[in-house]
Amino acid sequence: MRMALYWLVQGCTAGDSLVFHYSGHGSRQRNYNGDEVDGYDETLCPLDFETQGMIVDDEINATIVRPLPHGAKLHSIIDACHSGTVLDLPFLCRMNRAGQYVWEDHRPRSGLWKGTAGGEAISISGCDDDQTSADTSALSKITSTGAMTFCFIQAIERSTQGTTYGSILNSMRTTIRNTGNDGGGIGGSGVVTTVLSMLLTGGSAIGGLRQEPQLTACQPFDVYAKPFIL
């Protein structure tokens, strides 16, 4: 994965459009340099993380965000636990259930620039930094899928020309929030009643999945005016 991340931005120039998609395990660890608002670094946990280590948000940012040149674009689609700010982008779109939003400033107090070298970087992730992302069959009704990935694909398939980042984020959040409200529970197996079940379903519970997809960016923008274009 580390080699692939370096490969993604190697030779990148104006006009290039890059996509980084990850669906898998994520975690977080204590941050000791004061650069994180919540005191934690977010991480990705590839299959060999126990021997090769987790990939920390600082490394991801340094590898694929900061080198991004003017005129280039990067979209990151991350379906993992604790993935809200896993690219360490400077701004997070904090949206409520009514669709109203404000941009939170997550720039480090140290003054270290976590944005790009002039390009545009936007990340859509499965949940907030303190949440987990579910793997469930409650959405497809057929097989177990990442909730965020399923809802993202569904939102794109239903979108029309000119669809905005705000409408996609709202669509994903609404679908996830309503999942399980039919009383079927996770995977149609009934009420989630045990702590073990909660862990296995990524923190899901009666009345919907407990995760909220997030949007972060290198610069704030009007999410209801900016069209979603890869």
The answer to whether 131 and 82 have CB atoms below 8 angstroms apart is yes
Is residue 36 one of the residues assigned to a domain? Answer: yes
81 catalytic? Reply is: yes
Is residue 222 one of the residues assigned to a domain? Answer: no
Is residue 226 one of the residues assigned to a domain? Answer: no
Q: Which ranges of 29-105 does DSSP label H, i.e. alpha helix?
A: 49-52, 57-60
Number of domains making up the chain? 1
Range of the domain at 28: 2-217
pLDDT value, residue 163:
94
pLDDT value, residue 47:
93
Q: Is the pLDDT score of 199 beyond 80?
A: no
Q: Active site residue: 12, 21, 25, 93, which one?
A: 25
User: 162 falls in which pLDDT band (50, 70, 90)?
Assistant: confident
Is residue 187 one of the residues assigned to a domain? Answer: yes
pLDDT tens digits, residue range 2-22?
999 999 999 999 999 999 999
Q: Active site residue: 12, 81, 127, 218, which one?
A: 81
Is residue 76 one of the residues assigned to a domain? Answer: yes
Whether pTM exceeds 0.75: yes
25 catalytic? Reply is: yes
Is residue 225 one of the residues assigned to a domain? Answer: no
Q: Is the pLDDT score of 196 beyond 50?
A: no
Question: Which CATH number fits the domain that encloses residue 177?
Answer: 3.40.50.12660
- Quick one: DSSP state of residue 190? B
* Cα diameter, the chain: 52
